[in-house]
Amino acid sequence: MSSEFDAIIIGAGPAGTTAAIRLASAGWSVAIVEKREFPRRKVCGECIAASNLPLLDALGIGEQFDALAGPGLQRVGLFVGQRKIIAPLPPMNHERHRWGRALGREHLDTMLLERAAALGAQVFQPWTVKQHHADGDIHRCTLSRAGDEADVHLQASVLIHAHGSWEPAPHDAMQADATRKSPHRNSDLLAFKSTWLNAHIEPGLLPVLAFPGGYGGMVLGDHGLTTLAFCIRRDVLQKARTTHAGMSAAQAAFAHVQACCTGVGEVLDDAELVAGWLAVGPLQPGIREATPGDGQFAVGNAAGEAHPILGEGMSMAIQSAWLLSDRLIAHGAQASGSSGMPATGSSVGLEYSRAWRAHFAPRLRFAAVCAHLAMRPQAAAPLLPLLQRWPGLLTQGARMAGKVRQSAVPATIQLGNRSG
């Protein structure tokens, strides 16, 4: 088993595996470290915007995705109180991929990781990076796994952080401990997800939920399953648990959502809850650092996390990894005439940071505005008659959110046919 690589990637979600596929296809030796077993469910809205579908083709999983994902999402709905405002979603200008679709993370993440492994990436799963330090231009990582007495030691000149935003970098042990001990705040956002069978949701409709103290969404995905995902403030959840004594946190939060959004009850009336509730939090929306150190880069939520009200987390994960890979591959080819040359240096980091902010910072700001309006329906009440009269404003909002904006161009690489 090799211990020397061109790149080590921490995290095997869509961001990490996109980078792994891109780099491995260019001849780089890549190690992916993932602490969870796959397949696994995850708190996520599971929407894949149309702008990502050509990228999935180029990554080599397009046919698998097409065969399993839910119907094309052609309409957006705003469910607030007793109102249901429906508008068309903007189509992408593409001959085949005009509409986004939804696929469970247990399927998408597995597809991408298997594709990366097929291209030669070495997968360490389930392993955890318990220590990292830089030795000159080389990054050294120590991996551990439950049940294994011996650690594994890896080294590479490029280290890519593709882990969740609530998971600090391995060398930030003191910061992680401080975060765990930090007091709870009323404004903390806690996220919940459930999956339902036989829900009364219109195929192709993407409802967005707005209720006091939170927001969320529903979508019809693979196998006829409907995902309900939402965020709720900690103080609102505490009040809901008092109101609905004896319920679990998820059940009390769900009761609050149903009471505030009648459309949720209509969709889930007689539906069957499958696979149970998932929870995570508190979420940490905001811009972090795309290049945390020399030879270190961050993609997905490790670089920056948008309020999930717009469902752009998956887009930012896949597209940010693509932007970084473009620059790493180009730098390596320029340096040595070989696409497999590891790349460090401030020029790559500067280019990537600028590109990241240009493409994603506006989405984060727009998502924050939408989230705070959604959590305060009384403050947003004057806007509702306007949306009711001109629902096309929702269409424009989806366009501003980046639903049809391509931050990455798949023609920059050749991975063979769609089936790989």
Q: Measured between alpha carbons, how far is 343 from 291 in angstroms, rounded to an integer? A: 13
- pLDDT tens, position by position, 232-250: 999 999 999 999 999 999 9
Is 313 or 377 the better-scoring residue by pLDDT?
313
pTM higher than the cut 0.85: yes
- Per DSSP, the residues of 317-371 read HHHHHHHHHHHHHHHHHHHHS-TT----SHHHHHHHHHHHHHHHHHHHHHHHHHH
pLDDT score at 170: 63
Question: Which phi-psi region, left, alpha or beta, contains residue 242 (left: φ > 0; alpha: ψ -120 to 50)?
Answer: alpha
Q: Which two tokens stand for residue 290?
A: 């795309």
Residue 278 lies in a domain: no
Q: Is 209 a member of any domain?
A: no
Peptide bond into 88 cis (omega under 30): no
- φ and ψ at residue 414, rounded to 5 degrees: -125, 115
Instruction: Give the Cα separation of 221 and 204 in Å (integer).
Output: 10
Cα 12 to Cα 27: distance, rounded to the nearest angstrom = 19
Q: Is residue 115 part of a domain?
A: yes
In a domain, 344, yes or no: yes
Distance between CA atoms of residues 105 and 91, nearest Å:
24
Domain that holds residue 153: 4-178+285-412
Asked, for residue 89, whether it belongs to a domain, the answer is yes
Q: Over the stretch 97-131, which tens digit does the pLDDT of each residue have?
A: 999 999 999 999 999 999 999 999 999 999 999 99
Q: Give Rg (Cα) of the chain.
A: 21
How far is CA 255 from its chain centroid? Answer: 26
Work out the end-to-end distance of the chain between its first and last CA atoms, rounded to an integer number of angstroms.
25
When pLDDT is cut at 50, 70 and 90, the band that residue 338 belongs to is: very low
**Structural domain tally of the chain?**
1
Report the pLDDT value the prediction gives residue 337, as an integer from 0 to 100: 39
Residue 339 has pLDDT above 60, yes or no: no
Res 136: pLDDT: 85
Instruction: Confirm whether 339 is domain-assigned.
Output: yes
- Distance between CA atoms of residues 152 and 32, nearest Å: 13
Pairing of strands 138-144, 286-287: unpaired
Residue 285: partners with Cβ closer than 8 Å, 6 or more residues away: 189, 305, 306, 307, 364, 367, 368, 371
Residue 414, pLDDT score? 42
Q: Which domain CATH number covers 65?
A: 3.50.50.60
Q: What is the pLDDT of residue 147?
A: 82
pLDDT in tens, 47-67: 999 999 999 999 999 999 999
Q: Is residue 340 part of a domain?
A: yes
Distance separating alpha carbons of residues 222 and 351, to the nearest angstrom: 37
Q: What is the mean pLDDT of the segment spanning 389-402? A: 89
User: Quick check: is 202 in a domain?
Assistant: no
Q: What are phi and psi of 300, to 5 degrees?
A: 60, -145
d(CA 279, CA 237): 13
